[in-house]
Each structure stands twice: as structure tokens, then as C-alpha cells.
Amino acid sequence: MLDDRSKGVFHGRILVHEGAEKTDAKQTNRNLLLSDTAQIDTKPQLEIYNDDVKCTHGATIGQMDEEALFYLRSRGVPMRKAKIIMLRAFTNETLEHMSIDSVRDVLERVVMKWFERRLKNGR
């Protein structure tokens, strides 16, 4: 997630060496721009030196879904709460895969504080 005038860069690479048969690698880079001035440059790469592999990569860049916000608002959810619900859904895709509970718990608290602070300022 990028906000204000922030700029992010993602450069990821999957490298499959010769002799690494049956490699199954996936690389995904999802980005959410929260302002019109935030930017992301994303460059996923595959470098494969073997025939018997299954590798994928992809990148997405988007903004908050206005239709989803409208849906939540039409069911009585206040705008601030609706935005938090959507931001949590986006971040939970990553956080839920963390296997160390204590690290995940700390990051969830940090993320929630950031959401609260951001939305308190009317954004």
C-alpha cells in the first residue's frame, strides 16, 4: 500500500538453475495505491534454465474499489469503518501466511494503527 507522494519499487526474481527439475515457484506482487500521487514500479522476473518446471509471476496495481465501498456504505457501514474493512482485507492476504504468531500479531497492530491514523486525517 502506498499513500500520499510515496513511491515503491518491487524487483523480484525467480531463478531456476539447471538441474532443478520439478521446481514449482510462484511470485505475486499486489499493490494498492491510496492516492493519485503515489507510484509503484514493479518488475517481476523469471530466469529459468530447465525444462521441467512450473513457474508463474504476476503483478497488480489498483486503487480502492469504489463499488465495494458503496456496497458497505449501503448496508449502513460508516465510510471510515468501510475503508478499514477493505484495507484489512488487503493486508490480511499477506499477514495470514505468517507462521510466527508473535510477529504477525505485532504487524497487525502496527497496520491497524496506521489505518486509524490515516483515516483520522480524513483520507
Q: What is the pLDDT of residues 84-103, one digit of tens each?
A: 899 888 888 889 889 999 99
pLDDT at 116: 80
Amino acid at position 51, single letter:
D
d(CA 34, CA 117): 14
pLDDT-above-70 percentage for the chain: 98
Predicted model pTM? 0.77
Cβ within 8 Å of residue 41, ≥6 positions away: 7, 8, 9, 10
The SS3 assignment for 122 reads coil
Cell of 110: 502496527
